Structure 1
Amino acid sequence: MAFSGGKDSVVILDLVKRSGVKYDAHYNITGIDPPELFYFIRDNFPEVERHRPETTIWKLIVKKMMPPTRRVRYCCEYLKERGGAGRRVITGVRHAESSRRSKRGFIEECFKDKHKIYVNPIIDWLDEDVWEYIKTRGLKYCSLYDEGFKRLGCIGCPMAGKIGREKEFARWPAYEKKFRTAFAAAAAARNLKNCSQEWADTHPLLQSWVDGEAMFNWWMKEQKHKDDPDQTVMFE
């Protein structure tokens, strides 16, 4: 089972337990999840196996020499899309979460691994259904929901949109500082590698990413689409 600590995962874990089927639950530590979410999982779900990635988002930003974006989410590939090979993976994906997820099915074959099957048992549940189940069953949930957060995921996730990230950075300013520091290092690495002015003239982004501040400002304005709460789930 793919466990993220969000309300949908809490429901799925309870359903799996009640079903009596054999299972094991896994949480991929991204390093940029809200601290409250990490401690909620640690303190309330000791049976969930926690996995640390081989790298960090900060190192990835410098290595890729660019920010993670909606179109280029290398962060998910390295920090979330791990495990579950050749297995049935239960997730809390729901149609109501976004237009993209509205096209998902109850049972799906992983496009990267034909032997890995996703099972999405609450695919047709609405938010109201999820909260009703949590309250009826008396399940614990992360306190961030009571602060008004609708989605719980990586801080600074490009899928949260500009407004979502601004809210997250206001709540956890230390992470904004870390992103700015990483972008400064990424811009320096990019400028060092791309020393040819002729080559730079053909790549407009190189001209706008002159330093970390410019890269951060571009990144915060990069979202030109409607905010979408969809994120890549673990094991996807």
Structure 2
Amino acid sequence: MCHRARKIPVDHGWTGVRPTEYSSSGHVPRASEPTRRSPTLEAQVFISRSQSLLDGRDPLALVDAVLATYSKCAIAFSGAEDVVLIDLAKRTGRPFRVFCLDTGRLHPETYRYLERVREHYGLTIDVLHPDTQQVEDFVRAKGLFSFFVDGHQECCGIRKVSPLRKHLAGLDAWLTGQRRDQSPGTRSTLEMLEVDSFTGQSGKPLLKANPLTWLSSDEVWQYIRERGVPYNELHAQGFRSIGCEPCTRATLPGQHEREGRWWWEEQTRKECGLHSRS
């Protein structure tokens, strides 16, 4: 049977299942309901208790549940349309953290956009940087554009994956803006909740939440327009997927959004390693 994604409600009501009212009285909720525990609820336990949320496919409800359960949780913001996650988190009324990866090679428009988002939502955005010595050694050995010759994985590993791993090591959960339709070759089996391949604090399993999993690009942009959410000006220039400046270009009508990323490589290789599912 084919299931349709839930449209995100643009008002302040909820669709689908209302997240659990988290009790501090010691009451044990039904098995399908997440709750705050001490010590922090294990990722797999949270997933097993969240079936009603997964069945409902409600991004807002899932964001609320994750933020309510995990205090050491953060939203990954790429400087693109995943800003929707920040807007959803703001609507929950719960405290939340946001981080982004500054590879040192982002578009100027993206840097300006990060500042606009910070001001619009009154946020502190944790900007992560790669290890300076690693970058210098890599560039000295291979130059500034080695990815055009031997692929992007090594460069992304240094500029993105390493700082991400370091940051996630202090968390119990994180939220990403991944969607199934972003990259049919690599994200077609994406789930709303996963145990990440990276580990969290103290080497424990890390919960990875992908609230936008079932939404299409059109549905995400409908939400952005209806809510007046700020967006990266590169989108108005034909960029549907935004990464580092040398590795991202505008797409033509009819092209998939991922075709603007690493266009010299095959479709199945268009992941930077941040979302390894192995």
Could you state the TM-score of these two structures normalised by the residue count of structure 1? 0.64
- For residues 28-177 of structure 1, the aligned pairs below 5 Å read 28-46=101-119, 47=123, 48-55=125-132, 59-62=136-139, 65=142, 67-68=146-147, 69-70=151-152, 72=154, 73-75=156-158, 76-85=160-169, 86-98=171-183, 99-113=185-199, 114-157=204-247, 164=249
Matches of 2:140 and 2:162, distance apart in 1? 12
Using the aligned pairs only, state the percent identity.
24
**Higher helix residue share:** 1
Query: Per-residue deviation at 1:64?
Result: 5.8
Query: Per-residue deviation at 1:165?
Result: 9.2
Number of residue pairs matched by the alignment: 177
Query: Is 1:226 matched up with 2:264?
Result: no
Query: Per-residue deviation at 1:42?
Result: 1.6
Matches of 1:24 and 1:235, distance apart in 2? 22
Paired AA for residue 190 in structure 2: R
Q: Is the 8 A contact 2:100 2:128 kept in 1?
A: yes
Could you state the TM-score of these two structures normalised by the residue count of structure 2? 0.55
- Stretches of structure 1 that go unaligned for 5 or more consecutive residues are 168-219
Alpha-carbon RMSD across the aligned residues, in angstroms, is: 3.2
Distance 1:17 1:232, change over 3 A: farther
Q: Greater shift after overlay, 54-63 or 113-122?
A: 54-63
Query: Per-residue deviation at 1:125?
Result: 0.5
Query: Per-residue deviation at 1:82?
Result: 3.8
Matches of 2:136 and 2:208, distance apart in 1? 30
Matches of 1:35 and 1:221, distance apart in 2? 21
Q: Is the 8 A contact 2:152 2:272 kept in 1?
A: no
Paired AA for residue 62 in structure 1: V
Paired AA for residue 236 in structure 2: D
Matches of 2:219 and 2:246, distance apart in 1? 28
Matches of 2:240 and 2:112, distance apart in 1? 18
Distance 1:56 1:128, change over 3 A: farther
